Chain A
């Protein structure tokens, strides 16, 4: 983890805030008055049924859909960046199996103004390979995207999303269709990122057992926020039990202990 810039490990109150965020498509109100804090070093899982507005919330944070309410990002030194860096791991990429784009080409496209069709620059090659190595993907650098497995592709996209280190990392159902081994490897890396780099991470998922296992905080939305709290509270919550049929024994399967409670006020609670 030494190629990313060193960041202060302590939470200096850096967080991203949504304040009364609402999104409408025509007459249809998809999200209503959603207020959330995303704290550094915390993996927040966003769950909810299909059509609950999870993806719309991500798209609002990405600036793709118009919305009411405010979005704030604070960086380590409590400044509000004008243009926050957002790391994004999409659910899937849209390509056919003959796509000629290699993993290196993908990095070239993201990190360099040097056009990928002129070949990969040596500096870029070194930088990309160093990042990929941290995600057990260095051997994939020369492969075309069509020749990666689902898990390999998601690791590459994760590596890309944290280069440069973002203010917030958005994961949109990143492991749907990835096998169990790939899924554990992926979440292991996300946990590592969260601990070492004090990243706020927002994970969209519809798989509650998966979320209970890896998230620090769970937010259940269906148009508005219905539950917001740590996994232990989630399994005890009557609404969550009703919606998901939660089995408290799932909590015992947590692999990584929760990190030290963040120093910020109001962690784990609403605004």
Chain B
């Protein structure tokens, strides 16, 4: 898995990725001639679609803070991977995040505490545990890549992972979107319409956990939540219907993704954070155009 220090420039592969690289190289820009930028552009387009779709659901379900906690819990996932001696901590991260998400979802019902209290408790615990394990012997610095992320390190194999995540989110969109919408409006009403409320909540929590955790290596846990929430929040301010909401979120997310990637090339800045700045710009515009 590409963490800090892995080289951004890679050999050209064959197949569809290679075709994509040749296509982008036709663009009359300096950045479009580099393989790492060609790969990054493809990754950003995929990730923008992924984040827009997931973010739109997150805001519907009022779980923006929840996904933030999941991102932070990924740090503990890394730590567990290290402790268990796994070479690639990605699966440890995903497993831990999914477990944590399920636990939080169930505890929300049992604890009767307000949601943000429960989530905050879990997040604090997960981050502390992760830092304690990783900082043992003073070696924390080598894990900071997970805080910032590195889109430019994306390899063709990572694109396949991104497409897999998009497939998962689309499956949720096709199978459970209507049910999730009802659960968010009123769980009792959803139950009276024979929707299995707990199952929908758990499935969604697991989906968020998987997507956020896998994405962290590219965008970093400091900005992953902003990328999820901002495009959907901007779309919400102007959306006339559910269909318009999803469409606008995808367009805003992709536009800020591409703009942020190109700008980060010229400014020599971290790509994830630069994308967030553009997404914030869209959000401010949407506030101005907000429906009365």
Residues of A at the B interface (CB closer than 8 Å) are: 59, 62-64, 83, 86-88, 90, 92-95, 98-102, 104-106, 108-110, 112-113, 115-120, 142, 144-145, 157, 161, 170
Contact = CB atoms under 8 A, between A and B. Distances in A.
A62 B240 CA distance: 33
A207 to B, nearest CB: 21
Nearest to A102: B241
A102 B242 contact: yes
A94 B194 contact: no
The residue in B62, B235, B240, B245 that gathers the most chain A C-beta atoms within 10 A of its C-beta is: B245
A105 B185 contact: no
Interface in B206-261: 235-237, 239-246
Majority-rule SS of B interface residues: helix
B186 A93 contact: yes
B264 interface: no
B291 to A, nearest CB: 8
B227 to A, nearest CB: 20
Interface stretch (B24-32, B67-75, B171-179): B171-179
5 contacts: A110-B178, A115-B174, A116-B178, A144-B241, A161-B192
The 5 closest A-B pairs by CB, nearest first: A100-B245, A88-B192, A100-B239, A109-B178, A115-B177
Nearest to A114: B178
B191 interface: yes
A170 B290 CA distance: 36
B137 to A, nearest CB: 47
The residue in A100, A105, A106 that gathers the most chain B C-beta atoms within 10 A of its C-beta is: A100
B178 A112 contact: yes
B191 A64 contact: yes
A83 B240 contact: no
B184 interface: yes
Interface of B: 60, 62, 173-174, 177-179, 181-182, 184-186, 188-189, 191-194, 235-237, 239-246, 290
B192 A87 contact: yes
A94 B184 contact: yes
Contacts, number: 90
A152 to B, nearest CB: 16
B192 A115 contact: no
Contact of A116 (B177, B186, B189, B192): B177
B189 A88 contact: yes
A90 B189 contact: yes
Contacts of A100: 235-236, 239-242, 244-245
Contacts of A109: 178-179, 181-182
Contact of A117 (B62, B192, B193, B243): B243
A116 B193 contact: no
B269 to A, nearest CB: 31
B177 A95 contact: no
A63 B188 CA distance: 9
Given A100-B236, A109-B178, A113-B178, A93 B185 contact: yes
A105 B188 contact: no
Given A62-B191, A98-B236, A118 B243 contact: yes
Given A63-B191, A94-B186, A117 B242 contact: yes
